[in-house]
Amino acid sequence: MVSFAVVGVVTLFAVNPADASPASPKYQQKSGPYVVRGVDSAADRNRVGGTGASIDSIENGAATVTATPDEARQIERLGFSISRTRTEGFPAADSGYHDYAEMQAELDRAAKAYPKIMQKLSLGKSYEGRDLPLIKISDNVAKDEDEPEILYDAHQHAREHLTVEMALYLVRMFTEGYGKDPRITRLVDTREIWIVPDMNPDGGEYDLTGGKYHDWRKNRQPVGGGYKGVDLNRNWGYKFACCNGSSSSLSSETYHGPQAFSAPETQRLRDFVLSRRVGGVQQIKAAIDFHTYSELILWPYGYTMNTTAAGLGSDQQKTFSALGHAFARSNGYTPEQSSSLYITDGSIIDWLWATQGVWAFTFEMYPNSPSKGGFYPPASVIDAQTARNRDASLTLAEYADCAYRVIGKQQLCATAPSPR
C-alpha cells in the first residue's frame, strides 16, 4: 500500500535536497529497502518509478522503495538523495537518547504546547535531505523585536549525541520555565533565543546504523575517491585550511572540504546568521556551540596560539576569558582559549567572532575521559549533564546585551564596536 502525507513546515530558506552531484555509494547486493528524499511531486514519483524501483510508501517527500543496486544508482543519478533505511535507533542500553525522528517529535510537541513563545522553523535541508530544525523562543515569538539575540547550536559532529540532548534541555528550560522561574522569564521577555538542535542529522543517523555505534564524526556528503564526509567544524569561512588545524585528506576525520562552506549544513547556518544582520548590524550577540567531550569552555581564536590577534584585542580577550571563567564556576569545566587544546582552523566560533562580532564559545561536554564513556556516555547521565550547563547558558544570555560588563567596561559597548 502506498501512503501519502503532507505536513506543513515553516521554512526560512528554500533549498534543493540535492545540493551537489553525489558520488555513487557502494550499495550492497540486496533489493532494498531504501529511502529516497526529495520526492515532492508526481513527476518526481514517476522519475523514481521509471527506474524500475518499487515505491512502497511516500511521506513528507521521502519515498521508501525496493530497488536493485543498479536501480538505486539510477535514482541517485537523477539527483535524489538515497540511502538504506534504518529500523534500529540507539542501542537498547542507550534508548534514553533521542534519534532524529524522536528529536523532531519532541520539538513538535513543544511548539504545540507553547505557541506563544516558541516557533519551530527550519534552516533548510542537510545533504541527504533531512530538515535542519531551528527553534525560536521569545515572548513575542512571531515578531522580530529589537532585542539581543543568542544562538545555541549542537551536533556538528555526528557521534556527539549528548549535544542534541543539551539542545532539547534548553528548549524545555526556556519554555517550561517561562512564567515560573523569574530568571528565565526575564530572559525570554528581553531576548530572542535561537536553538539549532541538530546540525548533522545525516551523520548522526548513520552513526546508529544497525543499532550500534560507528564512531562517525563528519557529515555524509560524498567527497571523492569513494569517501564520504566533511568535518563541519573545519568548514567555516574564517582562516579556512590556513594553519594545519584541519586536513586536506579525503579520509581524515578532520577533512575540511574542498572550500569553505562546501557542506550544505554549514551553508544553512551561515545563511541564517547572515540573515540576522539588520541595518548592517548583527543581532546575534552571543553563542554556544556544543560538543563532546573533555569538559572544556573554549573561546577564539583556534587558529593561532596568540591570545590577541587581528580583531581580538586585549579588552576583548579579557572579556572572553572572564565570561569563560564565570561559566566554569557553575559547570566545573576548564576554561581556556580554543588553541590551548589544539590548533583548529575553519571553526564556527572563529567565524562567528571574526566576521560577525558574536561572543562565541565552544562547550565540550561530559565526560572528561574515555573511561567514562568518551563520545558515548550512557543515557543515565543525560539529565545531570545537560542540567549542569543551565546556569552557564543563562549567564551567556544575560550578558548578551553588553558582554564588556563582565570586565567592568560597559562603556565599550557603545564606543568599541566588535569586528565585522
- Are 124 and 13 in contact by the 8 Å Cβ rule? The answer is yes
What is the torsion angle, in degrees rounded to the nearest 10, for the CA atoms of residue 404, residue 407, residue 411 and residue 413?
A: -10
Tell me the three cell numbers of residue 247.
586536513
| Strand ranges of the sheet holding 62-66, from the earlier edge strand across to the other edge | 54-59, 62-66, 34-37, 81-84
Cis peptide before 300 (omega within 30 of 0): no
How far separated are the first and last CA of the chain, in Å rounded? Answer: 55
149, 192, 265, 364: which one is catalytic? 364
Burial class (CB in 10 A: 0-12, 13-18, 19+), 13: middle
Neighbours of 144 (CB within 10 A): 13
Q: What are phi and psi of 276, to 5 degrees?
A: -90, 10
Picking from 154, 160, 253, the residue whose alpha carbon sits closest to that of residue 208 is 160
User: H helices within 151-233, ranges in order?
Assistant: 162-176, 182-190, 201-207
Question: Would residue 76 show up in a list of annotated catalytic residues for this protein?
Answer: no
Query: Catalytic site residues?
Result: 364
